[in-house]
Structure 1
Amino acid sequence: MQKIIKGLLIGLLALSIASCSKTDNYPGPNAAFKGRILDKTDPKNGNFLTETAGIQIKLEELSWSATPSPQTIPSKDDGTFEDTQLFAGHYRVTPMGGPFWPVAGVELDINKGNNTHDIAVTPYLKIVNLAHRFEGTTLVMTFKIQAPVTENLPRLLDVQSFVNVTKYVGNGATIPQYTSDKTMQKIEANWSDAIAQQTFEIRVPDIKAGRVFFARVGARVDDSYKQYNFSEEIQVQLP
């Protein structure tokens, strides 16, 4: 009897090992999807000014399910996005999470191989006429704000500075002492002609001499995400 039981146990163990060692025959990802996030208001058709993961591209694979679990592609700092590990199929593609007017998703086929699709959005706010100077060790940045669409624009919250030692600069990549309550300028008001005409000034103290920094400013509204609309980056150095 013991020999029979022992034989059965050995047989079960062998079956278990064999089942674990079987090759997964499911096909892997076979499609890549990339594109640009465009600023609709830019006459030069430029990319939306953002930061790494400042915008999410939501993908819903409708050919898999009528109510699929979404997956997202984070934006790159240059306003592009890319995912090389997708399955070919029919998708709904929606930009979300960024400082722009909501956009309805579009349905499209992502085929085997490489696929490219650009997405255009309208920013809530735009930073214009950015200039800078040094007063001692304080970096002073001046600028104006434009609102491409003013009707139903959410309330403006604040403007803020962002400073880093690399070109990757934004809310998620900044030196804390240069992005703080001291450098924030609160607005907390609805859009008005007075805001449109105002020249804003942000002062960033204690910039270290001899080092190269990259700086930008941002303004945001009180929507669901409260993300900043950014200016271009500028390179600054205190001699």
Structure 2
Amino acid sequence: MTSKKGFTLVEMVVTIAIILILTSTSTIVVSDMLNRTRSAEAQVQEHIDMYEVAKSQVDGQLPAGYAPPTGTTAPSSAATGLPTSPTATTATPTTTVTPTTAATPTTTATPTTTATPTTTATPTTTAPVGNSITVGTYTTPAITGIPEAFPNTTTATSKGWGEYEYNAVFTIPKASHDQYVAIYLPPGTINLIEWYSCKLEAFDASTNIAVISVAAHNDEPAIRVDYSGAEKDWSDTRVYDVAPK
């Protein structure tokens, strides 16, 4: 005996649900397309209406019996009955202003007097003949060889620390004010350094002259000399002038 099987209730419900979902989806899509079609149709109709209105306005302004031209020649104003545009007229100046007179200066200012210096300042004193150097307002006496030692001064020389070096210690008259001391050095002197109780003010190797300054109440300044000559010439070192600073 053969039994017949049919759809169960669940299968029927699922099938119907699927059909309803598909139907609703299709309905929404079709409805949207119809709405877009109607909107486009309305826009086209609106443009057609606007065209008809514009055409009727233009036709109302044309004269009766007007026919559009068939050729390429533009219709004349007589045929169309439209107003004729005015012809442009260009204004042309008839008079040109020309200057007839140019202002010309008749007088030129010319200097008649030139300032010329008539007097030249000439120094009234002549520099001393011989070798000397100047420090501030003090100028050493001019010398042409080994000068005489200044009165009441002495010089003592001794071997220095270096191979080409000697020391010179002087005695000078003591004073209550600062003093300039002019020193003669033997040829071959390279340089000198203040050593004790003095300050080097100037040194000229070409003239073998140095000037030191000594403080008040000091009477024994000393210097250190860089020397490349013979030791026997150390004794030529001497003070040859002392002056207030």
> For the superposition of Structure 1 and Structure 2, which TM-score range results when normalised by the shorter chain?
under 0.3
Q: Could you say which structure has the larger radius of gyration? A: 2
Higher strand share: 1
Higher helix proportion, which one?
Answer: 2
TM value normalised by structure 1: 0.26
The structure with higher relative contact order (CA 8 Å, sep 6+) is 1
